[in-house]
Amino acid sequence: MVLYCKKIIILFFSLLCSFFLNAREVYTASIKINFDKAIHIVLPYPVEQTSVGSEYIESSIVEEKNNIVKVIAMEENFEEETNLVIIDKSGQMYSYQIKYDTLSSSSPSAFYPAGNGKDDYHVVLNKSNKAFVIFPSEVVYFQQGNESSLSVKQSTAKNILEISTEQFGFEESNVFAVDNKGNEYNVIITYGVSQHYIYELDSNKNSAKIDDNNQYLQDLCKKTLEEKRVIYDLGVIKNKITLSINNIFVTEKYMIFILTLNNASTINYDTDFTKFFFMDKKVSKNELQQYIDTPPLFVDSKYTFTTINGNSTQTIPFVFNKFTIPDDKYFRIEIFEKNGGRHLYFNLKNKDIMSAISVK
């Protein structure tokens, strides 16, 4: 009953405003909302006021750019349709019918009722790789979609956002940002493996482009893959699955591990994730094991351990910032099978990488 009465009040408010606002035609549209994406409506004029029809949603004017309204869901999977009314300072009224939609990938998250809409940017990341999004100028506002799946923070360089996740897979989400020149950016975030995790946004072309250095890393991966295998004693065999290092290469800045996964069984090996980290060699009974995650700097998307069919082999180059291994630690390489028990790992000591092959 309360919800019904509030909708009546909103409707009366809408009709009253329509009467006083020079009898302008009300702009009407529908919006699908969920917990995975933050909705933003970009208007041609600063916003005078907003009003929502129920407690299912919340709306607010973005202080850093007051022609933008942020709309978020306050309750998951609400069944009844609700509404939102916005009036801008020109007197134009906008009326939106809003309902919850669990399929985030089919739902847009940035709306431009006056036209001149911008294309979304697209960024890929995963649990092992943080994405760095570089904007043309300082970011003054940003809002992520699913706050339980994504971590978004502004870098020391104010024009960079660092986006990461602690989850293995998540529904498509987004980050909406505004820079100090008033440009808006709606960045769609998906889980996956990419050839790069550094994205430079161009406000004029609406494109996320690869950092120039990544072309060098792609060429480096291709070159090292073509080299003859020289290492045969670093790896592990379990349940007819072999994870091993073919070669280790080093440049002035980078270290490249060539890993091979061989499946000698007839059952496909579906990879859940591959993990790299430093760990203590010895830990006393009263101490916790310390792990330092060391994800690759670069993995070329042309190579992936997604599925290794029965009786087949895949080889992938992993690029890291150059490092050495402290005497009291191991560098561990692990791979986990999705929905299976064939979990493999092995440890490297510092002496194992001291004979890395020099490349340019």
Sign of the Cα pseudo-torsion (293, 298, 301, 303, in order)? negative
Indicate whether 237 and 317 sit together in one domain: yes
Helix (H) or strand (E) holding 127: none
- Indicate whether 216 belongs to any domain: no
Q: Is residue 107 within 8 Å of 71, Cβ to Cβ?
A: no
- Indicate whether 217 belongs to any domain: no
Domain boundary at 62, 83, 115, which?
A: 115
Indicate whether 64 and 132 sit together in one domain: no
Sign of the Cα pseudo-torsion (23, 28, 33, 38, in order)? negative
Residue 294: domain span: 228-358
- Indicate whether 220 belongs to any domain: no
- Indicate whether 28 belongs to any domain: yes
Domain boundary at 59, 89, 115, which?
A: 115
CA dihedral of 67, 209, 260, 360, whole degrees rounded to 10: -140
The three-point CA angle 84-86-89 to 5° equals 175
Structure token pair of residue 143 = 């809002």
Other beta carbons within 10 angstroms of residue 167's beta carbon come to 12
- Indicate whether 221 belongs to any domain: no
* Cα 117 from Cα 123, distance rounded (Å): 19
Structure token pair of residue 62 = 């973005």
- Helical H segments across the chain, by residue range: 2-20, 213-225, 350-353
Question: Percent helix, strand, coil in the chain (nearest 5)?
Answer: 10, 45, 45
Indicate whether 190 and 243 sit together in one domain: no
Indicate whether 71 and 166 sit together in one domain: no
Indicate whether 60 and 133 sit together in one domain: no
Indicate whether 250 and 272 sit together in one domain: yes
Indicate whether 13 and 101 sit together in one domain: yes
pLDDT, position 142? 97
Indicate whether 49 and 102 sit together in one domain: yes
Domain boundary at 69, 95, 115, which?
A: 115
Q: E strands along 89-239, which residues?
A: 93-100, 110-111, 121-125, 131-134, 139-144, 151-154, 160-164, 173-179, 184-191, 198-202, 207-210, 235-238
| pTM of the complete model beyond 0.85 | no
- Indicate whether 219 belongs to any domain: no
Domains: count for the chain:
3
* Cα 153 from Cα 215, distance rounded (Å): 27
Indicate whether 234 and 340 sit together in one domain: yes
Indicate whether 340 and 285 sit together in one domain: yes
Instruction: Please report, in tens digits, the pLDDT of each residue of the chain (360 residues total).
Output: 544 445 544 554 554 444 444 446 889 999 999 999 999 999 988 899 999 999 999 999 999 999 999 999 999 999 999 999 999 888 889 999 999 998 777 778 999 987 667 889 999 999 989 999 999 889 999 999 988 999 999 988 889 999 999 988 898 999 999 998 888 999 999 998 887 889 988 754 444 444 446 678 889 999 999 999 999 999 999 999 999 999 999 999 999 999 999 999 999 999 877 888 898 888 776 555 567 778 787 887 677 788 999 999 999 999 998 999 999 999 999 998 988 889 999 999 999 999 999 998
What CATH number is associated with residue 325?
2.60.40
* Cα 337 from Cα 315, distance rounded (Å): 17
Indicate whether 133 and 60 sit together in one domain: no
DSSP letters along 93-117, please? EEEEEEEE-S-GGG---EE-TTS--
Sheet hosting strand 57-61, strand order edge to edge? 57-61, 68-73, 39-42, 110-111
- Indicate whether 350 belongs to any domain: yes
pLDDT, position 290? 66
Sign of the Cα pseudo-torsion (186, 188, 189, 194, in order)? negative
Residues in CB range of 250: below 8 A, 6 or more apart: 256, 322, 356, 357, 358, 359
* Cα 329 from Cα 320, distance rounded (Å): 18
